Structure formats: C-alpha cells, structure tokens
A and B are shown apart, each in its own frame.
Chain A
Amino acid sequence: MKVVLRNPRREVDVAGGRRVRDVLKDLDILPETVLVIRGDTLITADQVVSDGETIELRPVMSGGRA
C-alpha cells in the first residue's frame, strides 16, 4: 500500500493488509497527531488497508505562537 506523508509531501510504500494502527506504529507516528484520509473520507485506526490502496497521513499540528 501507498502512504502519502506531508510537510514536505512524499510517498512511502509499506506492506498492506494491515490495520491503520499497525501502519502508524511502524512509521512511529502517534495516532492522535494525524488524520487518516482514504479517498474523500477519514478512517479510524482499526480499519484494514489492503495492498493496492493509498492513504494519506495528514499532520494536524499547527502554528507557532498567537
């Protein structure tokens, strides 16, 4: 499966057929710090993503001060 990461935008290939939760752990990303986007909607960490699919992990943190 393909994973799109942001800031800067890049793509990595990881093994599919796994839950989002396990993919996040593999990439050392805390689940609460990203949105998991598949197509035009969001999916929860218990969803399984299969090999041919693409998901985007979009960071949610913003801003410096004020």
Chain B
Amino acid sequence: MKCRKCGGAAVLELRRHNAAFCEPDFLEFFRNQVREAIRKYRMLAPGERVLVAVSGGKDSLALWDVLIDEGYQTTGLYLDLGIFDYSVESKARCEAFAARRAAPLIVSRVADAIGAPVPVIKNVTRRPPCSGCGLSKRYLMNRAALEHGFPVVATGHNLDDEAATLFGSVMHWQTDALPRQSPALASTHPKLVRRVKPLYRLSERETAAFAFLRRIDYIVEECPFAKGATSIQHKQILDRMEDASPGAKHNFLFGFLEKAQPAFARAEPVALNECARCGQVTTGTLCAFCKLADQVKRAT
C-alpha cells in the first residue's frame, strides 16, 4: 500500500478515510485532526495553560504529546485509582513520559480523597467499579484544576469512546445525557472548569498508532475492571458495524453532533449549587462525591 500524500510505503491504512499514510504523513494527519478539533470547538486559546488528565494509556499520553508540541502550557494529572498492579504500572508510564518530555505531573490518590481505593469503593457500593471510579475521576479532575488554577481540563476520549457512549445513551434514551455529550463543555459555573476532548475526531486505532510511532511507552494491559464493562460491549458491536461499513462510527457520532445534539439541548439550564461540605458544584445540597465518601466511611 502506498501513502496518499507522498507515494512512499504506507504504515497504516485508514479505511474510513479511504487512505493510507507513511509514518511522517500519518503523524501530520493526526496533528491536523487535533488542530481541527481545537479550532472547530474553540477548545483552547493559543499557549493556554491546560491540565491534561493522563491514565498511562495510549490516548491520554498521545494527547499530552501533541499538546506539548503545539505549544500549550501543559501539566499532567494522574489520578491513582489504587487498582492493584494496573495502577502501579500506569503511574510509572506517566512519570516516565513526564520526565522524558520535561513536563510537570500532578499525582493525586483517589484513596486520599475518598477514604478508599476503587476496588474497595466497588465492594462498598455494590455497583459496577466504573461507576464510582468515573464519578471520582470527574470530581477530582475539576477540583485539581481549580486548586492549581487551570481554566481547562483536556481528556483523551477518542472517536470510539464517544461513539460508544452515544450508543449507550441512545440505547436507553438517556435524554439528559445527550445534550452534555460534546467534544467541548463550557464552564457553566465559576467552580466548573471547561472540559475538552481534542482527540474526538481520531479513532482508537489511530491514537494507538500515533503513540506507537512516537515511541511512547504506554500501558497496553487493560484495567482489570474494564472486562465486561457495557461500554466495551458497545465498542465491540460498533467494531462489527465499522468492519461491514467503514466510516459507520464516524457518521454515527458526527451526524449526532451536527444534526441531533442541538435538538436535545435544554431550554432551561439546571440550577447549580455549591456542595454544603466541599464547595464543589452540585445540583443538590450534598454532591455525589461527598455522598460516596460517606458511604465508604460507614462501611470501612
């Protein structure tokens, strides 16, 4: 196969784009997609301070790599979930990357904030581990950004992640989740920082290829709790559709963002309060994170 740009030997075929690229032209294609995402949704101002949430996986480290090279003032945020060897190894990958790129990294332990690591939270709540884990991550990202004075958090969500989330929301017609599914979420309260997903135009195969070709040492092993997660099942279904019809995921997600999402946008904004205990933003009196911390305290 030949590179679409230069005619040299291709390293990667992108069926949905009906193209193949050599290494340098693929890296440029990738960076262009990130630039286009940032431009289209006005995600970041030139040179802005950005907190990049990193997990040690391919997506978040690829994102950090691109944002550094694009000239943003980045700091990594690693949330130590306390998930056995997986957390130990993923943290080491983030530290090694930060050292190699001479970029600052903040490490924050979920257990310090909530009283127990993710596996214990899972047992206490008797809910799927990803539910307590996801809630803690969103809360701690925002809190860390506020504490360290960052106006925006960037996460490594890719096209496959976004398509799978959309698929899950649509399967259950979670109409309150649909307006919030966006590559960029504006700040709707002084204590909520912006959230952006600059990789939403790139598939996870593309982010994996980018990380590999950039010689980024990322963790290939999965979180042990990922197995059987519904989002993974949805990804597998979408992979079959993509195989039968290249571009299916792209059309599903981009069609939603362009045509359907505005129809679900709320007319009335929800009232936001500050949590009576921690001061973070919530729709109730006590935020979900503080409630979870109470539950953990009672059980341990």
Interface residues of A (CB under 8 A from B): 6-7, 30-35, 37, 41-46, 58-66
Contacts and interface: CB of A to CB of B under 8 A. Distances in A.
Contacts of A35: 205, 208-209, 212
B100 to A, nearest CB: 17
Nearest to B134: A66
Interface string B16-47: 00001001000000000000000000000000
Nearest to A34: B205
Contacts of B209: 35, 42
Given A35-B205, A44-B11, A44-B13, A63 B226 contact: yes
Interface residues of B, number: 45
A63 B270 CA distance: 30
B240 A30 contact: yes
8 contacts: A6-B221, A32-B242, A41-B213, A44-B1, A58-B212, A61-B235, A63-B59, A63-B232
B239 interface: yes
Given A37-B212, A58-B208, A64 B239 contact: no
Contacts of B133: 64-66
Contacts, number: 93
**Majority secondary structure of chain B interface residues (helix, strand, loop or mixed):** helix
Contact of A32 (B130, B205, B222): B205
Nearest to A45: B13
Contacts of A41: 11, 23, 213
Contact of A64 (B59, B160, B208, B232): B232
B229 A65 contact: yes
B183 interface: no
B240 A64 contact: no
A47 to B, nearest CB: 8
A7 B243 contact: no
B1 A46 contact: yes
A46 B137 CA distance: 41
